[in-house]
Amino acid sequence: MGVVKLELKGISKAFGTFYANQDIDLVVESGQIHCLLGENGAGKSTLMNVLYGLYEPTAGQILVDDKPVNFRGPGDAMAAGIGMVHQHFMLVPVFTVAENVALGAEPTSFGGVLSIEETRKKIREISDKYGFDVDPDALVEDLPVGVQQRVEIIKALVRQAKVLILDEPTAVLTPQETDELLDIMRQLKAGGTSIVFISHKLREVKAVSDVITVVRRGKVVGDAPPTASATELASMMVGRPVSLSLNKAAAQPKETTFVVENLTVRAANGTNVVDGISFDIAQGEILAIAGVQGNGQTELTEAILGIQEHVTGSVVLDGKQLLGLPVKDVLRSGVGFVPEDRTVDGLVGPFSVAENLVLDLYDQAPFASGISMKPAKVAEHAKAKIEEFDIRTPSAGSAAGTLSGGNQQKVVMARELSRPLRLFIASQPTRGVDVGSIEFLHKRIVAERDVGTPVMIVSTELDEVIELADRIAVLYKGKLVGIVPAGTPRDTLGLMMAGVGPEGGSDDQ
């Protein structure tokens, strides 16, 4: 027996005196894809954590098939037929798919522990039914992200989930993996599974949702049909009209001050993950590096920053060779850097928002004099940046790690864009950020260009590349397929991302 109807009634969740959810009513009908749409920090993940038994609500009730339930943990939620796939997967990399699926299965949740043999059989059944194409004997660490995500979905389905919560599942996927996931969601729905889907990408939301509930600042604003336009949805979630296109002025490039020549990064297995790359960026110009994730982007930016080993070639900024310098000296040369994974490299989670906003500057004027820090200056700076970048945080003293994903991203962007820069490098600058804040951050990046900073954007989002770039360099298997001007047709860029040069020749060997 599965869940037919799931109802949240008057759910509130407070952290201290701050209410992340306030009196939320939501009904998820059987076999529907129900989207939750809302700004960063609106309270979507918090609500899902309440529904999955991770947080106890401060007030309100959850009803499964009209009966009140009380979840004391995810085990209870699973037993009631609710499954959740988190953004950061909870898989053991060195185990096989079947071992991961069998792991931690609670006997009561589906009427008995499964043997590995039974688990493999079930995985095959589910995989065939929904077209998952997952091998139960594959090692998880060998699987692409998109397939690992399917393993998480299988885990939930083996535990007989009838309601599946997917919290920003496409944030980590390539465009092709995203299309495949949307297809899987449609198949699951056809099989009677309901899905609560969280995404900031309006195109996806409109493509798969049956109903869209918009939340703002912890409260439900209302429902919208998937036929609503992207602009309507955006303004409903933000509470003001949002412009979805940037309309930036043409670049006025000046002197070329950043030059990369023949940059090569050799991996432990002897292959070149970055293979003889050369490009330059002028002051007042944005070069976007496009490409499918995993084609050398991470290694390229890390090589420039001085984090990678086995790097050869040349990286010159303002006439100075950066290769071989410690990271600290690279940053002190005026390089602003937004890493692709903010939780690992961008923030110190237990530190406050205010401290994170001065991470590279805490020992310099005006935030320090001699060896003593000036807390009043740090607080003043935080107040200004929180306002300017619209960082939704209970206070400047809150630990950065407790902020919502999109707001953590805004902290990193605010910090890096708030000092005099000679070069700005941002990887996935708007990952997990809502449409209203994307509008702001994109304008801010263009403003940095317009004060004369060379800007390098690395993005797997073609929309973002097209929006921001003055020139576009496409990376494929560690090599540059070509550097083309802004305005190059999307189809040409798509082909280049698959390794086909701008003139039509294949760069694949």
Ligand X SMILES: Nc1ncnc2c1ncn2[C@@H]1O[C@H](COP(=O)(O)OP(=O)(O)OP(=O)(O)O)[C@@H](O)[C@H]1O
Does residue 436 bind ligand X (CB under 6 A)? no
Nearer to ligand X, 136 or 405 (CB): 405
- Checking DSSP bridges between strand 194-198 and strand 163-167, what pairing results, if any? parallel
Residue 298 interacts with ligand X (CB under 6 A)? no
Q: Residue 301 interacts with ligand X (CB under 6 A)?
A: no
Interface pick for ligand X out of 146, 296, 405, 429 (rule CB under 6 A): 405
- Euclidean distance between CA atoms 481 and 493, whole angstroms: 10
Q: Which of 153, 287, 290, 403 binds ligand X (CB under 6 A)?
A: 403
Stretch that binds ligand X, among 42-50, 64-72, 383-391, 495-503 (CB under 6 A): 42-50
How many whole angstroms separate alpha carbon 25 and alpha carbon 9? Answer: 5
Residue 175 CB, nearest approach to ligand X (Å): 21
Query: Least separation, in Å, of the C-beta of 406 and ligand X?
Result: 3
As a three-state string, the secondary structure of 27-38 is EEECCCEEEEEE
Sequence-distant (6+) residues with CB within 8 A of 406 are 39, 40, 41, 200, 432, 433, 434, 437
* Assigned token pair, 453: 């900073």
Kindly tell me which residue out of 22, 40, 193, 427 binds ligand X, with binding defined by CB under 6 A. Answer: 40
Does 45 interact with ligand X (rule: CB under 6 A)? yes
Per CB under 6 A, does 38 bind ligand X? yes
Contact region for ligand X (CB under 6 A) — 33-41, 219-227, 286-294, 343-351?
A: 33-41
Radius of gyration of the chain (CA): 24
Selection from 432, 455, 506, 439 nearest residue 476 by Cα = 506
Exactly one of 22, 28, 43, 220 binds ligand X (CB under 6 A); that residue is 43
Nearest distance from residue 22's CB to ligand X, in Å?
11
List strand residue ranges (DSSP E) for 308-408, in order: 311-317, 320-321, 335-338, 368-369, 372-373
Q: What is the smallest separation between the CB atom of 217 and ligand X, expressed in angstroms?
A: 9
15 part of the interface to ligand X, by CB under 6 A = yes
**DSSP reduced 3-state for 156:** helix
383-402 positions binding ligand X, by CB under 6 A: 392-394, 402
What distance in Å separates the CA atoms of residue 146 and residue 124, rounded to the nearest whole number?
Answer: 17
Q: How far is the CB of 222 from ligand X (least distance, A)?
A: 16
Q: Which residues of 29-60 are buried (b: 16+ CB within 10 A; e: fewer)?
A: ebbbbbbbbbbbbbbbbbbbbbbbbbbebeeb
CB-neighbour burial class of residue 498 (10 A; exposed 0-12, middle 13-18, buried 19+): middle
Based on CB atoms, which residue is closest to ligand X, 34 or 477? 34
Shortest Cβ 197–ligand X spacing (Å):
13
With contacts defined by CB under 6 A, how many residues of the chain interact with ligand X? 21
State the minimum distance, in angstroms, from the CB of residue 58 to ligand X: 12
Rounded Cα distance between 81 and 64, Å, is 9
- Least distance CB 43 / ligand X (angstroms): 4
Distance CA 432, CA 170 (A): 10
Q: Which of 3, 6, 8, 20 touches ligand X (CB under 6 A)?
A: 20
**DSSP codes joined into one string, 212-254:** EEEEETTEEEEEE-TTS-HHHHHHHHHSS---SS--PPPP---
Distance CA(278)–CA(263), nearest Å, equals: 7
Alpha-carbon distances of 49 from 52, 166, 167, 246, rounded to whole Å: 5, 11, 10, 35
Measured from the CB atom, the residue of 40 and 427 that comes closer to ligand X is 40
Closest distance to ligand X from the beta carbon of 389 (Å)? 13
- At residue 404, the 3 state secondary structure works out as coil
Contact, 212 vs 188, CB < 8 A?
no
Q: Which of 12, 404, 453, 488 binds ligand X (CB under 6 A)?
A: 404
Specify the residue, 189 or 216, whose C-beta has the smaller distance to ligand X. 216
Identified binder of ligand X from the candidate list 8, 11, 24, 42, rule CB under 6 A? 42
Task: Note whether 100 binds ligand X by CB under 6 A.
Answer: no
Q: Residues with Cβ < 8 Å from 101, sequence gap 6 or more?
A: 119, 122, 123, 136, 151, 154, 155, 158
SS3 helix, strand, coil % of the chain, rounded to 5? 35, 25, 40
Residue of 257, 407, 428, 453 that binds ligand X (CB under 6 A):
407
| Closer by beta carbon to ligand X, 431 or else 479 | 431
How far is residue 471's CA from residue 281's CA, in Å, rounded to a whole number? 9
Of 40-48, 187-195, 224-232, 282-290, the segment contacting ligand X by CB under 6 A is 40-48
Tell me which stretch binds ligand X (CB under 6 A): 331-339, 347-355, 404-412, 448-456.
404-412
Nearer to ligand X by C-beta: 86 or 310? 86
Whichever of 335 and 386 has its CB closer to ligand X, that residue is 386
* Binding-site member from 46, 301, 418, 453 for ligand X (CB under 6 A): 46
Q: Which residues bind ligand X (CB under 6 A)?
A: 15, 20, 38, 40-46, 392-394, 402-407, 432, 434
